[in-house]
């Protein structure tokens, strides 16, 4: 129940941070990620593509469609409006992908008369889109896509007047493209021809997609969290490296590999390079699935982002699949978490909440097992030293409510602290109980049990309370002692710091619930009567009981100080 409470309560908080959790365990697993494969467009970059320049075959630049000469302009319009899945509707651009919409915007709604006969949509395997059109009573093939795929098919180009020229040096074109991609621009080539194998280059389109400022912050957070981020993009190598550097993802010495290079490597070779891998350029969906599989074989906890139909297998296979809010429904259905604003920073927040949830569960376990050790020890030892059951069935019901439901709610709302993002990810096989937890549970649990036994057996304690039939005042004080020890121990459990009030006011639910337990317990002591087998304590008796229960705090301080002297500073 505790796990369900923690996960469900954090879902609402995550939704406010643009993170929609589809599968409860997905968010908890996110806190254990070792490696994250992320898309570029819309996640690391803004996803608002803009055509910033058109370049003809003689390398003349044009910054708007109107500045291109008439004949060449017709060819450019033919290429970007007819080989395009977007269209104008009521003055707005609708349909298609973001690249198509950016190209159509560059056309300024100028039109050219042609009929589309057939189309082949863009896919990451072909690396271009194709349209067959009827133009001036002749059939033409229009290609738009990766220069390295289209340029080898070109034997000519159009100059600024729209005259076809023989393409003498493809090397110069490639060098020019390389210089542009080094600046982080995405480069598309437009070509036209009567045969797909004999094309004429219409020109080169430069598209800019700015890096999100929030993505830079998110990548930095994930890096501090010791999580490896790998950018998987359809861009070419130079563009990808430039953008990754700007985002703070790539440094000199890191590895960038293309899809073609990846396909030539055996699985064992890929496993060797994964620790240094930061970019996969010209990637295809199959690369994502393969990288997820190999990373999992290396015992890494893997996260994957995606937004398209082809991303669904990788999203489903990953330990945590992050679908983008703007993505297709197939991708969302295959995912564990949907990032509603397509923002990398939101992924970082999901990871932080995942770690917070895991810590909340551990804090609750410390609290509950400490109380259990005390109760079980008392039940086992009691009969041997002449102690009958010191609590009634009704009292036990209240104790169970405190231990389970109320405590679970209190710890469920622990705040996500930035310091959690500086810790190493939890290993896949890491046990829920670590050494720190075991020490605290055994140490505090043993002290609580000893205190309870001594309280019931030693005359020094019993003499402090009024005599009554069946030791009613002593047993009432014991009931209060047990509950208040639990209350004060909850403060010990929620932080490894000596300052028990650290970040306390960020968890107002904890304060409310603990206050509620304390108030109800006082009411039960004074007004529980025969139902709860309680008798109202005098002020002095209440103070004694309260101070004895308070001793669990200095006792736990001693444990924490000893650990600090040993150099063990940490917690759950």
Alpha carbon 56 to its chain's center: 43
Scanning the structure block, which residue is given the tokens 């198509």? Answer: 100
With 0-12 CB in 10 A as exposed, 13-18 as middle and 19+ as buried, what is 137? exposed
* Residue-wise DSSP of 438-498: HHHHHHHHHHHHHHHHHHHH-HHHHTTS---GGGHHHHHHHHHHHHHHHHHHHHHHH-SSS
Distance between CA atoms of residues 196 and 74, nearest Å: 20
b/e sequence 175-191, b meaning 16+ C-beta within 10 Å? eebeebbeebbbbbbbb
Question: What does the block give as tokens for 334?
Answer: 């295959």
Q: What are phi and psi of 424, to 5 degrees?
A: -70, 145
Distance between CA atoms of residues 229 and 307, nearest Å: 18
b/e sequence 65-102, b meaning 16+ C-beta within 10 Å? beebbeebbbbbbbbbbbbbbbeeeeeebeebbbbbbb
**123 SS3 class:** coil
Catalytic residue among 39, 209, 238, 311: 39
With 0-12 CB in 10 A as exposed, 13-18 as middle and 19+ as buried, what is 209? buried
- Name the region of 248 (left: φ>0; alpha: ψ -120 to 50; beta: rest): left
Distance between CA atoms of residues 570 and 466, nearest Å: 44
b/e sequence 192-208, b meaning 16+ C-beta within 10 Å? bbeeeeebbbbbbbbbb
188 and 144 Cβ atoms separated by less than 8 Å:
yes
- Is 39 marked active-site? yes
Scanning the structure block, which residue is given the tokens 């006011």? Answer: 505
**168 SS3 class:** coil
Distance between CA atoms of residues 130 and 61, nearest Å: 25
Catalytic residues: 39
């Amino acid at each position: 129940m505790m796990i369900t409470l923690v996960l469900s309560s954090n879902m609402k908080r995550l939704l406010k941070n643009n993170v929609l959790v589809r599968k409860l365990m997905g968010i908890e697993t996110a806190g254990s990620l070792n490696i994250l494969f992320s898309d570029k467009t819309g996640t690391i970059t803004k996803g608002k593509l803009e055509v910033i320049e058109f370049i003809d075959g003689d390398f003349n630049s044009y910054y708007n469609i109107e500045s291109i000469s008439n004949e060449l302009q017709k060819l450019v319009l033919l290429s970007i409006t007819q080989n395009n899945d977007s269209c104008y509707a009521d003055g707005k651009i609708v349909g298609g992908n973001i690249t198509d919409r950016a190209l159509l915007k560059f056309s300024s709604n100028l039109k050219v008369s042609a009929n589309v006969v057939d189309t082949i949509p863009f896919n990451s395997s072909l690396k271009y889109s194709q349209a067959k059109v009827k133009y001036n009573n002749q059939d033409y093939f229009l290609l738009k896509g990766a220069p390295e795929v289209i340029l080898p098919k070109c034997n000519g180009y159009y100059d600024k007047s729209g005259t076809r020229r023989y393409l003498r040096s493809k090397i110069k074109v490639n060098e020019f493209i390389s210089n542009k991609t080094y600046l982080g621009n995405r480069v598309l080539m437009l070509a036209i021809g009567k045969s797909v194998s004999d094309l004429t280059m219409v020109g080169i389109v430069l598209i800019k997609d700015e890096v999100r400022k929030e993505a830079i912050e998110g990548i930095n957070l994930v890096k501090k969290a010791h999580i490896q981020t790998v950018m998987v993009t359809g861009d070419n190598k130079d563009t990808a490296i430039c953008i990754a550097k700007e985002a703070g993802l790539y440094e000199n010495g890191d590895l960038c590999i293309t899809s073609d290079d990846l396909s030539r490597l055996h699985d064992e070779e890929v496993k060797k390079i994964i620790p240094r891998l930061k970019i996969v350029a010209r990637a295809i969906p199959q690369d994502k699935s393969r990288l997820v599989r190999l990373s999992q074989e290396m015992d890494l906890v893997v996260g994957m982002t995606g937004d398209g139909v082809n991303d669904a297998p990788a999203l489903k296979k990953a330990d945590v699949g992050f679908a983008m809010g703007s993505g297709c429904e197939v991708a969302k259905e295959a995912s564990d978490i949907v990032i509603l604003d397509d923002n990398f920073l939101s992924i970082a927040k999901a990871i932080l909440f995942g770690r917070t949830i895991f810590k909340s569960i551990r804090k609750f376990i410390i609290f509950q097992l400490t109380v259990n050790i005390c109760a079980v020890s008392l039940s086992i030892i009691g009969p041997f030293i002449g102690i009958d059951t010191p609590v009634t069935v009704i009292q036990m019901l209240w104790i169970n409510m405190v231990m389970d439901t109320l405590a679970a709610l209190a710890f469920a709302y622990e705040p996500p602290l930035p310091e959690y993002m500086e810790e190493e990810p939890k290993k896949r096989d890491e046990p829920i109980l670590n050494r720190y937890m075991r020490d605290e549970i055994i140490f505090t649990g043993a002290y609580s049990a000893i205190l309870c036994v001594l309280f019931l057996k030693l005359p020094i304690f019993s003499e402090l309370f009024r005599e009554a039939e069946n030791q009613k005042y002593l047993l009432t004080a014991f009931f209060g002692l047990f509950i208040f020890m639990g209350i004060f121990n909850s403060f010990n459990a929620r932080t490894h710091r000596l300052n028990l009030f650290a970040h306390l006011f960020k968890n107002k639910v904890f304060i409310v619930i603990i206050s509620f337990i304390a108030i109800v317990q006082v009411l039960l002591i004074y007004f529980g009567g025969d139902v709860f087998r309680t008798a109202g304590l005098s002020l002095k008796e209440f103070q004694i009981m309260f101070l004895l229960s308070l001793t669990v705090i200095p006792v736990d301080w001693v444990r924490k100080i000893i650990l600090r002297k040993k150099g063990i500073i940490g917690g759950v």
